[in-house]
């Protein structure tokens, strides 16, 4: 059984989808949900699901990412994850952190990468006049929102879409895609899931 830790910053709807999926014959189980924001709504949901939680507030560390990450790593190493899932985790990671978890760290990003790394992905897709948008799960490498593709789901961009309406349509697919990728990845299969 693979051990999965999940990093969040907010409401954690993707995290909840991952937790809900890890039952029965699933090859993985959740061991920790951690956040850089002690007020993240997802922490309450994880605790309610019976999963151990940790919060390491990044704010007291200011620009000192390495010290913030050192404390986060203590919690992570104590949980001994085989796989680390970033799920709406909004901190940029240092190369040292990435190296430590490289080859076992996944991220979900709300665009069809390589399009629109970074923020404001939905508005950028609308502004570009794209007919399609979507989400991507990839392995995390030292380059932001880059790394081997593990899955992608597509949705149409509809006339009159706002960033919010498009985000909501994409999020429904995120909740399908990420669990599907994690199940496959935890079984040792790196072939991309295309929805």
Binding footprint of ligand GAR on the chain (CB under 6 A): 8, 10-15, 42, 87-88, 108-110, 135, 171, 174
**Please, which residue, 15 or 79, has the CB nearer to ligand GAR?**
15
In the annotation, is 175 catalytic? no
Q: Which entry of 26, 58, 75, 109 is annotated as an active-site residue?
A: 109
Quote the least distance from Cβ 40 to ligand GAR, whole Å: 8
Kind and range of the H or E element at 134? Answer: strand 132-139
Quote the least distance from Cβ 152 to ligand GAR, whole Å: 12
Q: Which of 36, 42, 40, 26 is nearest to 59 (CA)?
A: 36
CB-based contact 151:195 (threshold 8 Å): yes
- Specify the DSSP class assigned to residue 107: E
Quote the least distance from Cβ 33 to ligand GAR, whole Å: 11
Q: Please state, in angstroms and rounded to a whole number, the distance separating the CA atoms of residues 148 and 140.
A: 8
**Please, which residue, 74 or 162, has the CB nearer to ligand GAR?**
162
**Please, which residue, 14 or 21, has the CB nearer to ligand GAR?**
14
Q: Which of 78, 96, 98 is nearest to 138 (CA)?
A: 98
CB-based contact 123:110 (threshold 8 Å): no
Active site residues: 109
């Amino acid at each position: 059984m693979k051990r999965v830790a999940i990093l969040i910053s907010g409401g954690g709807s993707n995290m909840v989808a991952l937790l809900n999926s890890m039952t029965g014959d699933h090859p993985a189980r959740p061991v920790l949900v951690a956040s850089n924001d002690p007020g993240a709504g997802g922490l309450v949901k994880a605790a309610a699901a019976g999963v151990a939680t940790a919060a390491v507030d990044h704010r007291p560390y200011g620009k000192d990412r390495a010290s913030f990450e050192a404390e986060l790593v203590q919690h992570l190493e104590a949980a001994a994850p085989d796989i680390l899932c970033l799920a709406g985790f909004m901190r940029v990671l240092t190369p040292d952190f990435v190296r430590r978890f490289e080859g076992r760290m996944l991220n979900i990003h709300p665009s069809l990468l390589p399009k629109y790394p970074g923020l404001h992905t939905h508005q950028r897709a609308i502004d570009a006049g794209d007919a399609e948008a979507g989400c991507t799960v990839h392995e995390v490498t030292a380059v932001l929102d880059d790394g081997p593709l593990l899955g992608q789901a597509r949705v149409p961009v509809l006339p009159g879409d706002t960033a919010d309406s498009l985000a909501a349509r994409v999020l429904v697919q995120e909740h399908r895609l990420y669990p599907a990728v994690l199940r496959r990845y935890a079984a040792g299969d790196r072939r991309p899931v295309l929805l």
